[in-house]
């Protein structure tokens, strides 16, 4: 999470992109066991990537516009207590970030979508957010 905070504070879109699933990781690591890929949804991989990547791109642009290039004043983050197991993946969602907006004023907001973890490595599934 600290790499995310540092990249956001620098307004570094390239560093943020590395922290998210790319198309190949989506196809080989995430999609095969994703609940959206399985019945009753059976979402086509191309369509699912198109939707996910579009929301992520839009969310990243908004995130950089609203929070990028300045101190985030990160206090911590929390995700649901019970992550989902999807095959070999652990999926954490929804997650929120707590930050200090002003002295004595803590803000909790959703800055990204789910986080997928496999064998100790984590990636953002999407930068879709609710800013």
Question: Is residue 19 assigned to a domain?
Answer: yes
Question: Is residue 130 assigned to a domain?
Answer: no
ω into 128 cis (within 30 of 0): no
Count of domains forming the chain: 1
Q: What are phi and psi of 60, to 5 degrees?
A: -65, -45
Question: Is residue 131 assigned to a domain?
Answer: no
pTM, 2 dp:
0.93
Q: For 47-103, what is each residue's pLDDT tens digit?
A: 999 999 999 999 999 999 999 999 999 999 999 889 999 999 999 999 999 999 988
Helix or strand or coil: residue 127? Answer: coil
Question: Is residue 116 assigned to a domain?
Answer: yes
Question: Is residue 13 assigned to a domain?
Answer: yes
Question: Is residue 59 assigned to a domain?
Answer: yes
pLDDT score recorded for residue 81: 80
Range of the domain at 27: 2-124
């Amino acid at each position: 999470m600290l790499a995310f905070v540092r990249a956001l504070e620098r307004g570094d879109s390239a560093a943020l992109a590395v922290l998210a699933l790319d198309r190949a990781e989506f196809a080989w690591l995430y999609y095969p066991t994703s609940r959206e890929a399985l019945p009753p949804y059976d979402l086509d991989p191309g369509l699912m990537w198109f939707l996910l990547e579009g929301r992520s791109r839009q969310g990243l642009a908004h995130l950089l516009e609203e929070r990028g290039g300045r101190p985030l004043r990160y206090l911590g983050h929390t995700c649901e207590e019970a992550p989902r197991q999807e095959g070999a993946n652990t999926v954490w969602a929804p997650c929120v970030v707590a930050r200090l907006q002003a002295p004595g004023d803590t803000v909790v907001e959703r800055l990204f979508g789910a986080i997928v973890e496999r064998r100790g490595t984590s990636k953002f599934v999407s930068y879709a957010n609710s800013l």
